[in-house]
Every structure is written in structure tokens, then in C-alpha cells.
Chain A
Amino acid sequence: MSSSDQQEPHAVQPVQVLYCQICTFPPEYCEFGSSLTRCKEWLNEAHPRLHEKYYSDEALQSKLGTLSLEAQAKLEKETAKKEAKAEAKADAALKKKMASQVSIKRIERNKRKFVTAIHGLEAFDIELKKAAKFLAQRFATGASVTKNVQGQDEIVVQGDVSDDVLELIESNAGIFKGVPAANVELVEEKKKKTTE
């Protein structure tokens, strides 16, 4: 259906908003995010005119606007601190990710029946539900995502497939793309599991 009326202006076109790739805010708000230096770099490369507009000297002068001098200095100090803190946090998270293990446990259910529990895939950005489904399909058994005693999510696969899973993960097949082979380990455990 045509969207024009007789004389009235028809549908207003949306404003095309540019969002910073680094912090997802509109570029004018990058200073309130925690990655100002990176945002400025990106903006300079991708949209130099806008970078001029927001970060040129006159722009910065006019922005000082209604804030007093000491308020301005304090604001700068706080943003620098926040940025440093965010960087430290990101670094710590990355390190933790590198150090985290994916552990594969074989747990006894009955005398001759086992289940395989896979821990720690979350740290590698793997969607657990999808991974569980994938595994269930591969091994033609049931697989599910459950919370274990510590409150972490784990994938539980029926049957003793621990070696196969190990191979799968190491070969980075399908959904297990991001996991480095060194971080996977096989753990033996004798545990009576009542639920699965």
C-alpha cells in the first residue's frame, strides 16, 4: 500500500544513527563508556569527519560548557580511573578464560551404566543447549544441560562417551570451535549420581 496521503507529509524517514563499534554508544557518548581511547582511534579511522566534529579543539572547548574548572578536572580523573578499571577487568577475564579448563567426567550411574559430564564450556562462549543437542545427535543418546552442585552449568550425556567427546573437542568439530586443545582434561570420578 502506498504510504502517501493527500497533502499530509507521509512516513518520516528514520534518522540513521551511527553507533560506535567499540562501545555501541553513539560516538558523542563514548567518553562515558570505558574505552574512550579505543573509541577515538576507531572513529578516527572509520569516520574522520565525525572525529573532527567531536574531538577537535573547539568542540572540546564548547563542551566544557557549564562545568567549573575543578569539576572538569575531577570528571577527567574519574573517567581515566574508570577506563583503567575496565581494562583491568577485561584483562583478568581474558586470563581466566585462558586458564579455565574444560573437564570431562565419567560418572557411574549403575554398575555398568555411566554418564559423561562436561564442565566449563561456558568460558569459551559455547552455547550449552546447542552443544548438548549436537552431542545427543552424534552419540544417539540423551544429553542435557543441568546445574551441578556448585551452581555451574554442565552438559550431561548418557553413556560413557568421554573419549569421544575429548576427541571431538580437540578436533574443534562443529560447535566446539573456540576451545584450544590444551585446556581439555579427562577426570575420573566415582560418584553416585541420583538424578541426571
Chain B
Amino acid sequence: MFKKFSSSTDIASQTPPKSSVQRSIRAGVLAQWQIEPETLEQIWPKKESLIHVKCREHISIYTINGEPLFFQHFDGPFYPALRLLHKYPFILPKVGIDRGAIRFLLSGAHMMCPGLTSPGGYLPPPESGIPAGAVVAIHAEGKEHAVAVGTLKLSTEEMRKINKGVGVEIATHLGDDLWAIQTL
């Protein structure tokens, strides 16, 4: 989603949203991620107001003090920025990818099923399977920190069975243009 993004040309506007909108965003974030209200309070204090940065293709990035926290496409699910995910790795469920897949991911490819189902990859066990369409953090084999954030195209069970095609659509990865922009 941030393949070609430069702050000078792709940002349309930066405004603080209404407090009713901010409240609904806060509620949305609490519902979608596995985060406690107190922890969210640390990241986004009640008194502070987000800034809504509108970008091309209906992408909205929400920042505090210039630092991007999370973003969404249209009115879709909220994706945390990778830096935020590194600080609080528990907010999203994890899937793991094979070591050989890392370099393709870092050049912007989507995650194919075999990268997740092969011996190096990690999918959560069937009891705690993740449904399709969920936002997940993508970790790499042998690494501590997440590489990317994406949406599951197939549920983890289906991935194990079908094992073909795109498994996770990547929203942001390490080293993309959102990562490069440290303040907006």
C-alpha cells in the first residue's frame, strides 16, 4: 500500500477529526486490536487529538505529534504502523514466514501460502485459527520483530489445506515508504 509514497506529493490534507469521530476511532482500535485501554492511553492519551492525514487512493493515516500511528484504507480495518507494532507486538495475532520469503516480502510482494505453511513458517494451531480478513502481524523465521502487517486472504485452516496463491495481502512492510517517513 505504500509502494510509492512521498510526503510532498501524495498527501492531500492534514486536519484533526471531530471528537465524535475520534471517539469512534478509539473504540474501533480497541475492538480490532488486542490492546488494553490503558496501553492505548499511553500511545494515544485522551487529551491529545489525532491528526488525520488524507492521502491519495483514500488512504488515511492517523498521527500524533507527527508520528504515524495507524492507517486505514477507505473505512476498512485499522493497520498499525510498523514502528508501533514493534513497540507493542502483542496487539495483533502473529503468523510467521519462512526465511527465504523475507526478501520478497521486503521488496513489496504479497505473502503466498507456501511461505507460511513450509517448515520455516508459522501458522497458529487450529484451535486458535484466524479467520480470513483479519489483520495480522507477520514475523519472520528467527527474527524478533515483525516484518510486515497484512490481511489474511484465507483463514489459517484454509491456508493449510489449499496451500496455493496469496495467503496474506501486505499493507505495510519494513522499509517501505511509510517506514521511511518518520514524521508527517
**Residues of chain A whose beta carbon lies under 8 Å from any beta carbon of chain B:** 3-5, 8-12, 14-17, 24-26, 28-29, 32-33, 62-63, 65-67, 71, 75, 78
Contact = CB atoms under 8 A, between A and B. Distances in A.
Given A17-B87, A28-B142, 16 more contacts: A9-B36, A11-B39, A11-B42, A12-B38, A12-B88, A15-B87, A25-B174, A29-B106, A29-B143, A32-B106, A33-B175, A62-B142, A63-B142, A66-B99, A66-B118, A75-B103
Nearest to B40: A11
Interface in B63-112: 83, 86-90, 98-100, 102-103, 106
A75 B39 contact: no
A50 to B, nearest CB: 11
A65 B88 contact: no
Nearest to B147: A29
B87 A14 contact: yes
A75 B100 CA distance: 8
B111 to A, nearest CB: 15
B145 A28 contact: yes
Contacts of B98: 66
Contacts of A5: 38
Nearest to A16: B87
Interface residues of B, number: 30
List of 3 A-B pairs having minimum Cβ-Cβ separation, nearest first: A14-B87, A11-B38, A66-B120
Grouping DSSP codes into helix (H, G, I), strand (E, B) and loop, the A interface class, with mixed when no group exceeds half, is loop
A14 B98 CA distance: 27
Contacts, number: 76
Given A17-B145, A28-B143, A65-B99, A3 B42 contact: yes
Contacts of B106: 29, 32
A23 B90 CA distance: 25
Contacts of A24: 175, 179-180
B100 A26 contact: no
A32, A63, A67, A71 interface centre (most CB from chain B within 10 Å):
A32
A15 B143 contact: no
Contacts of B99: 63, 65-67
B127 interface: no
A151 to B, nearest CB: 13
A46 B39 CA distance: 31
Contacts of B142: 28, 62-63, 65
A10 B38 contact: yes
A88 B86 CA distance: 32
B48 interface: no
15 contacts: A3-B38, A14-B42, A15-B89, A16-B87, A24-B175, A24-B179, A26-B143, A29-B143, A29-B147, A33-B175, A65-B142, A66-B119, A66-B120, A67-B99, A75-B100
A15 B118 CA distance: 29
Given A29-B174, A33-B175, A66-B98, A14 B41 contact: no
B36, B41, B89, B118 interface centre (most CB from chain A within 10 Å):
B36
Contacts of B89: 15
Contacts of A8: 36
Interface in B113-152: 118-120, 141-145, 147
